[in-house]
């Protein structure tokens, strides 16, 4: 390699003495900064940055490696710990698991430098990796895995590293009755996510054995808790009251105007829907329906058709985990203090409630609804820009070439006739906002298309996100319960006035 040339991923791995997957992990966590190679194949790295990473922080890193934490100081603005990984069993995974091993970088704790994303605590995990524009669950490409497996299988894979048997999400009858009673006394204006947070507390109060943190007990709690979140959601309002339903109705009117469909077909479809609704209700009562089918009934009303529910199931799988998002880190901190699984999920839901995390899908929904209502993306985007408002639903810092979750979900939605209007509107927004080059949608926009096509309310995307990510939070809890307690306590960097003596 000539002087000044950039290094390939494999060359970086050789220089650092780590696996190729570790290089991807370092890049995703900001320890290294990559650029696309010429021709768009692979990534390249700055040799000087690689050398700084190779030579920085080894003594302290190895001293703390046994505890799972490494003190890291910034190296020219880049967190600079590098610890070769050791193969260890995935936390919470029983012996004999079929889950593949994936190396991940050691934990970093912020040093005295200015705190930035790369300097904040990073957690060693065998669950999720974001690297080279792809998302992996336990070493397997998440997009490909979700395309072949139901959400229940995804949960099993994240929790235990296997899909057979898939967990069955159930709510005990007594808890279901309690959730219904408590839901009935909440204010009518309560958000759906408010009801979910209350449901977690109710489920916790109903479980006196929740402090048993053995793996089998946590898994039993996890299956109940995910189902309880869906059970706590009320029946949807009249379809005509949601923006998604109104836009869906207008799209249906346009379709009927363009091509006349026999009335007999409509009557037959209505009869099939009514019959399916009865069947779906019976399945839900018996806990036989999957989470996607049950969630569809709570958010959209009615059972939904097979293809539509499959899209919701795919969305749940794609959103189950995503490295250490702020809600996931909050959940792990709670688990490190040995909080019970309900408290772990409560911590995740609290962080998710912020507008910069869980609220992003609602903003994308509103933008899409406005474009469909007004029929002009140029006017809507122009008004957003004039008001100095960000165009929601586009771009992701971890995916410079586009969010693979969004691509997968939008591709699946393209097969749904009800989604056509909203996919067209999303494409128009991307084209207009990007001007010379169309913007790349992220998963928030894909969720907006899904929920609007289904006639769901504006907050449905956040609910779907929360149900899905609860599986990830619990997977991280299972992993964190195997680590040293209270390890996720970074030291503060005091920046107050000078300390004075007692005589002052």
pLDDT in tens, 427-452: 999 999 887 777 899 999 999 999 99
Which CB contacts under 8 angstroms, 24+ apart, belong to 220-223?
221/340, 221/341, 221/342, 222/155, 222/159, 222/167, 222/341, 222/471, 222/474, 223/167, 223/168, 223/169, 223/170
Task: Write the CB contacts of 246 (distance below 8 Å, at least 6 apart in sequence).
Answer: 240, 373
Question: Token pair for residue 195?
Answer: 């009801």
Alpha carbons 405 and 135: distance in angstroms, whole number: 8
Comparing CA positions, the residue from 171, 444, 152 lying closest to residue 320 is: 152
Q: What is the mean pLDDT of residues 116-142?
A: 83
Question: Token pair for residue 335?
Answer: 């688990």
Alpha carbons 70 and 120: distance in angstroms, whole number: 11
Which tens digit of pLDDT belongs to each residue from 63-91? 333 344 433 222 222 222 222 222 223 33
Alpha carbons 469 and 420: distance in angstroms, whole number: 28
pLDDT band at 154 (very low <50, low <70, confident <90, very high): very high
Comparing CA positions, the residue from 127, 152, 164 lying closest to residue 142 is: 127
Least confident of 40-44, 440-444, 454-458: 40-44
CA angle 81, 104, 475 (to 5 degrees): 125
Residue 269 reports pLDDT greater than 60: no
Query: What is the per-residue pLDDT for 303?
Result: 78
Handedness of CA 81, 34, 154, 285 (dihedral sign): positive
Of the listed 396, 401, 403, 476, which one is catalytic? 396
Query: What is the per-residue pLDDT for 167?
Result: 92
Q: What is the mean pLDDT of residues 145-149?
A: 97
Least confident of 61-70, 115-124, 152-161: 61-70
Q: Give first-to-last CA distance, the chain, whole Å.
A: 63
| 271 against 439, higher pLDDT | 439
Across all residues in the chain, what is the average pLDDT? 79
C-alpha pair distances (Å), 170 with each of 1, 203, 283: 59, 12, 12
Least confident of 100-109, 267-276, 444-453, 463-472: 100-109
Q: What is the mean pLDDT of residues 43-47?
A: 87
Q: What is the mean pLDDT of residues 231-236?
A: 88
Residue 130 reports pLDDT greater than 50: yes
| 238 against 335, higher pLDDT | 335
Task: Write the CB contacts of 407 (distance below 8 Å, at least 6 apart in sequence).
Answer: 143
pLDDT band at 271 (very low <50, low <70, confident <90, very high): very low
Least confident of 28-37, 191-200, 206-215, 222-231: 28-37
Query: What is the per-residue pLDDT for 40?
Result: 59
Looking at the DSSP bridge assignments, the partners of residue 137 are 128, 140
131 in Cβ contact with 103 (< 8 Å): no
Query: Taking the complete model, does pTM exceed 0.75, yes or no?
Result: no
Query: What is the per-residue pLDDT for 120?
Result: 60
Backbone dihedral region for residue 236 (phi beyond 0: left; psi -120 to 50: alpha; all else: beta)? beta
Share of the chain above pLDDT 70, in %: 73
Alpha carbons 429 and 444: distance in angstroms, whole number: 14
178 in Cβ contact with 206 (< 8 Å): yes
Query: What is the per-residue pLDDT for 490?
Result: 82
Q: Around Cβ 256, how many Cβ atoms within 10 Å?
A: 11
Q: What is the mean pLDDT of residues 141-150?
A: 97
Which tens digit of pLDDT belongs to each residue from 307-345? 999 999 999 999 999 999 999 999 999 999 999 999 999
| 338 against 101, higher pLDDT | 338
pLDDT band at 102 (very low <50, low <70, confident <90, very high): very low
Residue 28 reports pLDDT greater than 80: no
Residue 396 reports pLDDT greater than 60: yes
Strands 140-141 and 74-75, sheet pairing: unpaired
Alpha carbons 284 and 166: distance in angstroms, whole number: 18
Which tens digit of pLDDT belongs to each residue from 176-219? 999 999 999 999 999 999 999 999 999 999 999 999 999 999 99
Question: Token pair for residue 189?
Answer: 């204006």
Backbone dihedral region for residue 93 (phi beyond 0: left; psi -120 to 50: alpha; all else: beta)? beta
| Stretch (H or E) spanning 59 | helix 58-64
Backbone dihedral region for residue 286 (phi beyond 0: left; psi -120 to 50: alpha; all else: beta)? alpha
Which tens digit of pLDDT belongs to each residue from 296-305? 999 998 878 9
Alpha carbons 297 and 303: distance in angstroms, whole number: 5
Backbone angles phi, psi at 128, to 5 degrees: -135, 140
For residues 168, 299, 137, 13, the Cα torsion angle rounded to the nearest 10 degrees is: -170
Helix (H, G, I), strand (E, B) or coil at 422: helix
Expressed in percent and rounded to 5, the helix, strand and coil fractions of the chain are: 55, 5, 40
Least confident of 8-12, 67-71, 456-460: 67-71
Chain-centroid distance of CA 65 in Å reads 28
Of the listed 82, 119, 340, 444, which one is catalytic? 444
162 in Cβ contact with 97 (< 8 Å): yes
Q: For this structure, is 141 an active site residue?
A: no
């Amino acid at each position: 390699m000539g002087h000044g040339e950039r290094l390939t991923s494999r060359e970086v791995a050789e220089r650092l003495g780590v696996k190729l997957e570790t290089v991807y992990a370092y890049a995703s966590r900001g320890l290294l900064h990559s650029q696309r190679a010429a021709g768009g194949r692979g990534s390249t790295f700055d040799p000087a940055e690689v050398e700084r990473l190779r030579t920085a922080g080894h003594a302290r890193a190895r001293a703390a490696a046994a505890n799972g934490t490494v003190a890291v100081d910034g190296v020219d603005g880049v967190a600079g710990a590098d610890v070769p990984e050791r193969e260890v069993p995935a936390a919470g995974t029983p012996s004999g698991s079929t889950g593949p091993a994936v190396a991940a970088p050691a934990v970093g704790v912020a040093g005295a430098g200015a705190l930035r994303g790369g300097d904040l605590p990073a957690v060693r995990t065998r669950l999720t990796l974001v690297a080279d524009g792809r998302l992996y669950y336990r070493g397997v490409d998440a997009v490909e895995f979700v395309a072949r497996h139901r959400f229940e299988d995804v949960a099993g894979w994240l929790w235990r590293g296997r899909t057979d048997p898939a967990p069955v999400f159930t709510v005990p009858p007594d808890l279901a009755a309690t959730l219904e009673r408590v839901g009935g006394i909440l204010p009518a204006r309560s958000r759906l996510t408010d009801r979910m947070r209350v449901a977690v507390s109710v489920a916790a109060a109903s479980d006196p054995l929740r402090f048993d943190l053995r793996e089998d007990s946590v898994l039993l709690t996890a299956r109940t808790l995910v189902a309880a979140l869906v059970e706590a959601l009320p029946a949807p309002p009249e379809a005509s009251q949601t923006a998604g339903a109104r836009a869906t109705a207008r799209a249906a009117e346009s379709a009927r105007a363009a091509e006349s469909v026999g009335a007999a077909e409509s009557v037959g479809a209505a009869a099939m829907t009514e019959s399916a609704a009865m069947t779906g209700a019976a399945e839900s009562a018996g806990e036989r329906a999957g989470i996607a089918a049950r969630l569809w009934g709570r958010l959209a009303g009615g059972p939904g058709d097979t293809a539509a529910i499959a899209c919701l199931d795919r969305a749940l799988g794609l959103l189950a985990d995503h490295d250490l998002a702020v809600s996931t880190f909050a959940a792990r901190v709670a688990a490190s203090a040995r909080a019970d699984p309900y408290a772990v999920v409560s911590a995740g839901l609290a962080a998710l409630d912020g507008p910069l995390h869980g609220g992003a899908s609602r903003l994308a929904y509103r933008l899409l609804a406005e474009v469909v209502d007004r029929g002009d993306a140029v006017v809507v985007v122009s008004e957003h820009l004039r008001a100095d408002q960000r165009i929601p639903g586009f771009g992701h810092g971890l995916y410079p070439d586009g969010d693979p979750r969004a691509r997968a979900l939008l591709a699946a939605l393209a097969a749904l006739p009800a989604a056509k209007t909203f996919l067209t509107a999303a494409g128009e927004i991307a084209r207009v906002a990007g001007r010379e080059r169309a913007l790349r949608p992220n998963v928030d926009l894909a969720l907006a298309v899904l929920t609007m096509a289904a006639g769901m309310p504006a907050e449905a995307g956040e609910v779907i996100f929360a149900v899905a990510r609860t599986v990830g939070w619990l997977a991280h809890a299972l992993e964190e319960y195997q680590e040293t307690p209270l390890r996720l306590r970074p030291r503060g960097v005091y920046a107050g006035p000078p300390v004075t003596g007692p005589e002052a």
